[in-house]
């Protein structure tokens, strides 16, 4: 049965390819630091569930040490020149987006087929991991399509993948690190502490106040920690589960899903979400590193209002 272990193995293979591509970049004086960073990350994906908590902690510290001591650097070049890319753009037009769209389409359509057809009975994919497994399948299909369609040199994916990864740098693993931080905060009882404070503020039975505090709390904690996945364990333990679901009888699926969407509004507003907001500004060479955030404010606020309304009406008026 294909489960999450296969997905982690694929992720480790991708990071290992970044390490190989980094080592091949002879013009980059920091190529060995880049190669070490991606190699350590690939080891965590491949063997993280086998080596125990202490070894995983040491591995994380090594990854942080490599990133924090200035050993990482952007790739030195690209596999094609600007005029070659312009020619390819003129030749293929919007069809160039097809390989990228194959990934979400495979995950979405495959999940529907798995759920609503007899495919589930064959036991090929773990039902708990079907979407992530099919996302990985979509990546493989997209890669096959690119090689079959464009016919690039064999190591193009390795070299271009590592170049892009090294342009982003350590921020590429920031969501994973921040999600872990959220779990640590939840395990430390932060959610319970916040829940006690919130419980003393919210009038008994006031769904409106509870919804507002939950959604705004998701936004604030996301702004502080940079990722809604880090904020969710804290706010779910503080307000989502004990108050909105257990006390007020809210729909658990709506509370969870829309609460995350509210947190994503905070992602649009914070420099802590460096991989989303700061790195793009650097890659696009914008005048200010906060240009992306300023452009997103007009989207984030209306989205937050919409999510609050959806959470209230869909979660408690069914």
What is the average pLDDT value for the chain, to the nearest integer? 86
- Please check the confidence at residue 202 and state whether its pLDDT lies above 80: no
pLDDT (average), residues 76-91: 75
Q: What is the pLDDT of residues 16-44, one digit of tens each?
A: 999 999 998 888 888 899 999 999 999 99
Tokens 């090594």 locate to 62
Q: Find the angle CA(226)-CA(63)-CA(71) to the nearest 5 degrees.
A: 100
Q: What is the pLDDT of residues 208-243, one digit of tens each?
A: 999 999 999 999 989 988 888 888 888 888 888 888
What is the structure's pLDDT at 318?
59
Contact 210, 248 (CB under 8 A): yes
> Which residue blocks in the chain are alpha helix, DSSP H?
4-24, 31-47, 52-68, 82-92, 98-116, 130-150, 156-168, 174-187, 190-201, 207-225, 228-235, 252-267, 274-283, 291-316
What are the beta bridge partners of residue 2? Answer: 125
Q: For residue 169, what are the contacts with CB-CB under 8 A and spacing of at least 6?
A: 67, 72, 74, 279
- Assigned token pair, 89: 């753009």
- Assigned token pair, 257: 């899903």
Q: What is the pLDDT of residues 118-134, one digit of tens each?
A: 877 777 888 888 889 99
Burial class from Cβ neighbours inside 10 Å (0-12, 13-18, 19+) for residue 244 reads buried
Residue 204 banded pLDDT, cuts 50, 70, 90? confident
Looking at 15-24, 81-90, 257-266, 309-318, which range is the least confident one? 81-90
What is the structure's pLDDT at 273?
81
- Please check the confidence at residue 181 and state whether its pLDDT lies above 80: no
What are the beta bridge partners of residue 125? Answer: 2
């Amino acid at each position: 049965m294909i489960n999450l272990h296969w997905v982690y193995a694929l992720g480790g293979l991708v990071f290992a390819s970044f390490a190989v591509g980094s080592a091949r970049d002879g013009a980059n004086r920091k190529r060995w630091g880049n190669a070490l960073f991606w190699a350590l990350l690939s080891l965590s994906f491949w063997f993280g569930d086998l080596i125990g908590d202490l070894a995983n902690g040491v591995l994380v510290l090594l990854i942080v040490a490599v990133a924090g001591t200035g050993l990482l650097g952007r790739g030195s070049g690209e596999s094609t020149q600007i005029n070659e890319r312009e020619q390819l753009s003129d030749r293929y037009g919007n069809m160039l987006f097809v390989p990228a769209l194959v990934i979400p389409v495979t995950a979405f359509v495959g999940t529907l087929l798995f759920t609503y057809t007899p495919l589930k009975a064959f036991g090929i994919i773990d039902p708990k991991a079907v979407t992530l497994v099919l996302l990985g399948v979509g990546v493989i299909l997209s890669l096959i399509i690119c090689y079959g369609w464009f016919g690039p040199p064999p190591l193009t994916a390795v070299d271009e993948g590592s170049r892009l990864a090294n342009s982003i740098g350590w921020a590429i693993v920031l969501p994973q690190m921040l999600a872990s931080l959220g779990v640590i905060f939840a395990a430390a009882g932060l959610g319970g502490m916040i829940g006690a404070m919130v419980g003393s503020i919210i009038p008994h039975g006031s769904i409106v106040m509870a919804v507002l505090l939950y959604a705004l709390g998701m936004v604030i904690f996301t702004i502080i920690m940079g990722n809604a996945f880090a904020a969710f364990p804290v706010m779910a333990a503080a307000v989502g589960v004990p108050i909105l679901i257990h006390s007020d009888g809210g729909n658990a699926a709506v509370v969870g899903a829309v609460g995350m969407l509210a947190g994503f509004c905070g992602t649009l507003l914070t420099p802590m979400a460096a991989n989303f907001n700061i790195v793009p500004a650097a890659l696009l060479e914008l005048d200010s590193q906060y240009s992306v955030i300023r452009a997103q404010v007009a989207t984030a606020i209306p989205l937050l209002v919409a999510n609050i309304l959806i959470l209230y009406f869909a979660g408690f008026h069914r």
